[in-house]
Structure 1
Amino acid sequence: MSDKSLRVYFTTHHDGRLTGQLLPVWDSFFDEPPPSAYGNSEAEIYALLETRIRMMLLENPAGLERFLWEENLEARTITVEIHPQTLHKKRPVIAKALIPLKLTYVYGKLESGAWRVRVPRFGWSFVLEDLAIAREVLQNALTTVLLGEKPKGLYDFRHEGVEYVSSWDLGWLQRDNRRGPSEERPPEVLDQISEELTSRALGGRQPALVYDAESMRTWLAHAQRQPPQSLLLVGGPGSGKTSQVLKLARLIAEQRREDKKANLPRIWRTSAERIVAGMVYLGMWQERCLKIVDALSYENDYLYVDRLTSILAPQPDGSSIGDLLLPAAMSGEISMIAECTEAELERCQRRFPESLRPFRIIRIEPPPASQVPELMLRYQAAKRSRVSIHALGLRQLVGHLETFQRDSLFPGKAFRFLDWLEQQGEPGKARTLYPRDASEAYARYTGLPLQLISDEVPAEQASLAGQLRQGVIGQDRACELAAGVLARFKAGLNDPEKPVGTLLFAGPTGVGKTELSKQLSRTLFGNEDRMIRLDMSEYMLPGSAQRLMEVGPGITSLAERVRQQPMSLVLFDEIEKAHPEVFDLLLGILGEGRLTDSLGRLVDFRMAVVCMTSNLGVEQSEPAGFGAERGSEDFMRAIRQAFRPELFNRIDHVIPFRRLSEADVLRIVDLELEKAASRAGLLRRRLRLVVEPDARAWLARHGYDPKLGARPLKRLIEAKVMAPIAVKLSAEAGLEGAMLPVVVAGTEAERMLRPEYRAVATVLGD
Structure 2
Amino acid sequence: MIELNTATPYLDQYGKDISEQIALDPEKYRAFEREGITNRMMVSLLKQIQNAPLLVGEAGVGKTAIVEDLARELLVSNVPELKGKHIIQISLANLMKSSDGESFAFKFQAVLDELMANKKTMIAFIDEIHQIVGTGAESNHSALDAGNILKPALSRDDLQIIGATTTKEFHEYIAQDGALMRRFDLVEVPELSYAQTQRVLEKIVPRMAKDMTVERDVQARIMQLANRYMTDRFFPEKAIMLLDGAISLAKLKGLSEVTTEEVTDIIHDDYHVPKYVINQTVDERLMNLSAGLQKKIIGQQKAIDKITLKITNREAGLGDNSKPESFLFLGPTGVGKTETANQLAILLFGAEKNFIRFDMSAFKFASSTLQSFKNQLTTAVRHTPYAVLLLDEIEKADPEIMDLLLQVLDDGRLTDDYGRVVNFKDLIIVMTTNSGAKAIQNQNAKSDLVKNDKKRQENFEEQLALALQGDGYRPEFLARIGAMIVFDVLDMTDMVKIVGLKLAILNEKAQEQGFKIVYDPKEVAKYFPTFELGYEYLNDKKVTSSPIAAYIADVGYKPSKGVRTIDDTLGEHVGNPVANAIMKQRQGKTNDFNTFVFRAVGNPPSLTSPYGDWQPLISRAWEVQDEAL
TM-score between both structures, scaled by the size of structure 1: 0.49
Q: CA deviation at 1:666?
A: 0.7
2:139 equivalent to 1:327? no
Residue 644 of structure 1 pairs with residue 469 of structure 2: no
3-state SS, counterpart of residue 470 of structure 1: helix
Gaps (5+ residues) in structure 2? 2-6, 78-83, 113-123, 152-160, 447-459, 520-546, 601-614, 624-628
In structure 1, C-alpha distance between the alignment counterparts of 2:232 and 2:343, rounded to whole Å: 24
Choose between structure 1 and 2: higher helix proportion: 2
CA–CA distance in structure 2, aligned partners of residues 459 and 562 of structure 1: 23
Contact 2:330 2:433 (C-alpha < 8 Å) held by counterparts = yes
Match of 1:522 in 2: 346
Which residue number corresponds to residue 688 of structure 1?
514
Structure-2 change in CA distance of 1:600 and 1:742 (3 Å):
same
Unaligned runs of 5+ in 1: 3-178, 276-284, 313-318, 755-762
SS at match of 1:265: strand
Shift of 1:612: 1.5
- Whether the 8 Å CA contact 2:516–2:596 is kept in 1: the answer is yes
- Which of 590, 597, 615 matches 2:434? 615
Matched with 1:465 is 290
Amino acid at match of 1:608: L
2:618 to 749, 752, 755: 749
Cα deviation 1:339-367 (Å, max 9, x = unaligned): 5453x655558999999999987643112
Matching of residue 412 in structure 1 with residue 230 in structure 2: no
Describe how 1:637-676 pairs up with structure 2 within 5 A: 637-639=466-468, 641=470, 642-660=472-490, 661-670=494-503, 672-673=505-506, 676=509
> Alignment partner of 2:215: what SS?
strand
* CA positional deviation for 1:465: 0.7
Check if 1:428 corresponds to 2:255.
yes
Q: Of 499, 504, 508, which aligns to 2:332?
A: 508
Contact 1:616 1:639 in 2 (8 A): yes
3-state secondary structure, aligned to 1:647: helix
Q: What amino acid is the match of 1:448?
A: V
Identity %: 23
1:387 counterpart = 2:214: yes
Residue 198 of structure 2 aligns with which residue?
373
- 1:483 is aligned to 2:308: yes
* Superposed displacement of residue 688, structure 1: 3.1
CA distance in 2, matches of 1:306, 1:725: 76
Residues in 2 aligned to 1:222 and 1:466: alpha-carbon distance in whole angstroms: 61
Tell me the CA shift for residue 290 of structure 1.
8.9
Deviation at 1:506, TM superposition (A): 0.8
- Alignment deviations for residues 200-234 of structure 1 (CA, whole Å, 9 cap, x no partner): 98999xx998545885577799999xxxx999865
Cα distance in 2, alignment partners of residues 287 and 366 from structure 1: 38
Residue 277 of structure 2 corresponds to which residue in structure 1? 448
Aligned to 1:117: none
- Cα distance, 1:383 vs. partner? 1.9
What is the deviation of 1:377? Answer: 1.6
After the TM superposition, which residues 65-84 of structure 1 pair with which residues of structure 2 at under 5 Å, given as runs? Answer: none
How many angstroms apart in 1 are the aligned matches of 2:384 and 2:203? 28
- How far residue 488 of structure 1 moved from its aligned partner, in angstroms, is 1.6
Task: Kindly tell me the number of residue pairs found equivalent between the two proteins.
Answer: 517
Paired with 1:612 and 1:712, the residues of 2 have a C-alpha distance of: 23
Deviations 1:678-715 (A, max 9, x none): 8xxx4xxxx43423449878987898666654457779
> How far has the Cα of 1:527 moved from its partner?
3.1
Q: Which amino acid aligns with 1:652?
A: G
- Within 5 Å, which residues of 2 pair with 1:158-307? 210-211=31-32, 215-216=37-38, 234-236=56-58, 238=60, 240=61, 243-245=62-64, 248=67, 264-266=87-89, 293=104, 297=108, 298=110
Amino acid of the residue matched to residue 297 of structure 2? V
Q: What is the CA–CA distance in structure 2 between the aligned matches of 1:504 and 1:458, rounded to whole Å?
A: 22
Report if aligned partners of 1:220, 1:248 keep a CA contact under 8 Å in 2: no
Q: Which residue of the partner structure matches residue 157 of structure 2?
A: none
Contact 1:449 1:525 in 2 (8 A): no
Which SS does the other structure have where 1:331 is aligned?
Answer: helix
Q: Which amino acid aligns with 2:300?
A: Q
Instruction: Output the amino acid matched with 2:291.
Output: G
Compared CA separation, residues 520 and 584, structure 1 to 2 (3 A) = same
**Matches of 2:435 and 2:587 in 1, distance apart?**
49
**TM value normalised by structure 2:** 0.58
Q: Aligned residue for 1:364?
A: 189
Whole-Å separation in 2 of the counterparts to 1:714 and 1:201: 72
Secondary structure of residue in 2 paired with 1:464: helix
- Asked if the contact 1:439–1:453 (Cα under 8 Å) also holds between the matched residues in 2, the reply is no
- Shift in Å, 1:517: 1.7
Superposition CA RMSD, Å: 6.6
CA contact (8 A) 1:329 1:336 kept: no
Q: Distance in 1 between matches of 2:182 and 2:100?
A: 20
CA contact (8 A) 2:246 2:258 kept: no
In 2, Cα distance between the equivalents of 1:421 and 1:569?
29
RCO greater where, 1 or 2, for CA within 8 Å and sep 6 or more?
2
User: Partners in 2 of 1:614 and 1:232 — Cα distance?
Assistant: 53
Distance in 1 separating the partners of 2:59 and 2:92: 19
